[in-house]
């Protein structure tokens, strides 16, 4: 079982942009920076050999709390985040960051993936709580 906290504001994997002159822009600077941060902060927990068994992954994204949720009537703890970015695009960025850095032999090994999004607690830090384990048959 791997249990990590990745600091930073999560960024979703954007769709590729196709330009009229035939070019394709591969990645945006913000998402590329987030993927580098995930890979760098997770490097100490990287398995010595790429995982080759089915994987269960739980991704809990924590976003900065907006000023509109800092009123006295708002709860102190984390609050569900029901706005953009989409959970699937957030997960894609993390899967790409780890897969591209040799965590597993193939993305298709991720057999169970759960994602959740929250605004941080009142004085919390943005980031990603990542839990990863292999699934026994």
Q: What is the pLDDT of residues 37-85, one digit of tens each?
A: 999 999 999 999 999 999 999 999 999 999 999 999 999 999 999 999 9
CA–chain centroid gap for 116, Å, is: 10
Tokens of 50: 């790429």
DSSP tag of 101: T
DSSP tag of 71: S
- Averaged confidence pLDDT in the chain: 91
Q: Give the number of other Cβ atoms within 10 Å of residue 55's Cβ.
A: 22
Instruction: Give alpha helix (H) positions in 25-86.
Output: 29-42
pLDDT at 120 over 60: yes
What Å distances lie between residue 47 and 5, 82, 104, CA to CA? 16, 33, 9
Instruction: Give alpha helix (H) positions in the chain.
Output: 29-42, 87-99
Decide: pTM greater than 0.75.
yes
Q: What is the mean pLDDT of residues 91-109?
A: 95
Rounded CA separation 11/36 (Å): 11
Instruction: Map out the domains of the chain with their CATH numbers.
Output: 1-9+54-137 (3.30.1330.70)
pLDDT at 137 over 70: no
Tokens of 7: 């600091």
């Amino acid at each position: 079982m791997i249990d990590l906290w990745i600091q930073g504001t999560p960024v979703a994997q954007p769709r590729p942009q196709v330009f009229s002159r035939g070019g394709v822009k591969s990645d945006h600077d913000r998402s590329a920076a987030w993927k580098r941060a995930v890979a760098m902060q997770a490097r100490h927990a990287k398995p010595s050999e790429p995982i080759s068994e089915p994987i269960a992954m739980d991704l809990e994204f924590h976003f900065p709390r907006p000023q509109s949720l800092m009123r006295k009537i708002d709860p102190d703890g984390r609050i569900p985040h029901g706005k953009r970015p989409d959970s699937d695009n957030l997960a894609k960025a993390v899967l790409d960051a780890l897969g591209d850095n040799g965590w597993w032999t193939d993305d298709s090994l991720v057999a169970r993936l759960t994602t959740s999004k929250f605004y941080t607690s009142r004085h919390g830090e943005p980031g990603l709580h990542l839990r990863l384990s292999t699934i026994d048959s």
